[in-house]
Structure formats: C-alpha cells, structure tokens
Amino acid sequence: MNICESIASVIKSNLKEILSLRNQKELKSDNSYVSKGDLLCESLIKEYIKKNCPEYALISEESPEDNMKSYTSDKIIILDPIDGTENFVSGLKEWGVAVCIYEYGKHKQSMLALPELDLYLLSGDDIPKYKSRIAGISSSLTKQDILNLKDGFEYRIIGCAVYNMYSVVTGSFYSFQNPKGAKVWDIIPGLNLALEHNLKVIVNNKPYHGELLRPDQKYIFSIEQN
C-alpha cells in the first residue's frame, strides 16, 4: 500500500474546502497561527489512517499530546498537515503538507506536497534535476543571522520548509539550511527524500542516514547538492 499516494489523493479531493478555511485562524502559545484549514487537513488524514491503516501511530504538529507515545510504536506516520501556515493564512500559495512513514525504525516512504501549486514529490519518483546556485534559508533566522551569512550566494527566504525541501531535492536550490532548529515533522520527509536523490544531509552537525528523530526536540540541518 502506498500510503503517501493515498494521502495525496485525500488532499487533492478536499483542497477546495481546505482553502476555504484559510481565513479562520487563531494564535497558538508560541505566537504562530493555526488555521481551521490546518485542522481540517489533519482531521482528513487522521480519518484516512484510522480507516485504512490503523496499525500506524501518528506524530503530528497539531496533536503534540500523543507524539512521544507514538514515537515508541513499531509503525509511525509523521505529519505536518500544513507547513508554512503564515503563508497559507496570508493567501500565498507556498505552503505544504509533509508526510513520512517509518516501520521498525526504518524509513519506508515520504511525500512533500505543495497542493495549491499542484506539486507532489513522493519516494520513488523520477524527477528532473536543475542546476542552481540559490541557497534557501529558514525564515526563523534573525537579522544578525542573515548578516552573518557567507558572501557569494543567491539567498531565498520562502517561509515554508516543504517548499524549500522540494526545491533543494529537485535542484532548484543548491542548498537549504536551518541553523536555528526545526521539529521532526517539518524536516524528516525532506531529509529522507534528499538522501534518496543523493544529496549531502547533515543533522546536528553529523551526517544523517535516515534515522528516526524524536518529536520532542529541534534539529539544525543542512542539505546541499553533491
């Protein structure tokens, strides 16, 4: 069963309703937004999992109370129902859905979805590769962090990890880095797809080889073309 393909179909089938909820938002404790679009997307995917693959535990940004219990399960789906919510609620199309599946500690499949752009990258896809000199950087960087960046690159701040991951895996970015740290649901699908397409992946200053990452920590990382 290709769970990622099925989740992509769920998103496509319900995209109009998800988009209709982008203006209904509230602030979370960390001062970031969650919208009813985020919650609907998560609810639809949870419903799919419960009905079609109930043996999988869920790690999700919007259900943190269950994450550490799910982390110890044999079969896990890691989900960011809407990555780049600030973009989403602001009417920008650069937002995404991230899905990653592990079984017995081993990566099985991942998906980076940019639904409003109709772009989907799944494990096993054969993709064209561009040759870029653009360096994607995280929107979490401070002004001083940006001033400390090395000269010689074309930098881009998009505000969506899924978009950045998609861009570096497809070669539209030469690299993507976040020296401030991000949670597992933001990054682990892209990290594994980058490995699949033979990119150099560093997590917490060490080479990354597809290990399952804990949901209660943040991870600094860099991805670049070999």
Q: Is residue 129 part of a domain?
A: no
The per-residue pLDDT for 146 is 84
Residues whose CB is less than 8 angstroms from the CB of residue 217 and which lie 6 or more positions away in sequence, other chains included: 183, 184
Q: Answer yes or no: do 116 and 213 share one domain.
A: no
The per-residue pLDDT for 59 is 96
What is the DSSP pairing of strand 75-83 with strand 96-103? antiparallel
The per-residue pLDDT for 29 is 85
- Put simply, whether the predicted model's pTM sits higher than 0.85 gets the answer yes
The per-residue pLDDT for 119 is 98
Tell me the two tokens of residue 75: 């079969």
Structural domains counted in the chain: 2
Give the residue numbers spanning the domain of 138: 134-224
Domain boundary among 66, 89, 122: 122
Residues whose CB is less than 8 angstroms from the CB of residue 213 and which lie 6 or more positions away in sequence, other chains included: 184, 187, 188, 203, 219
Q: Is residue 209 part of a domain?
A: yes
pLDDT tens digit string along 10-23?
A: 999 999 999 999 99
Percent of the chain exceeding pLDDT 70 equals: 100
pLDDT tens digit string along 21-49?
A: 999 999 988 888 899 999 999 999 999 99
Tell me the two tokens of residue 49: 């999992």
Burial of 215 (0-12, 13-18, 19+ CB in 10 A): buried
- pLDDT of 145 strictly over 90: no
Q: Answer yes or no: do 118 and 142 share one domain.
A: no
Q: Is residue 91 part of a domain?
A: yes
Q: Answer yes or no: do 104 and 162 share one domain.
A: no
Domain boundary among 58, 93, 122: 122
- pLDDT of 160 strictly over 80: yes
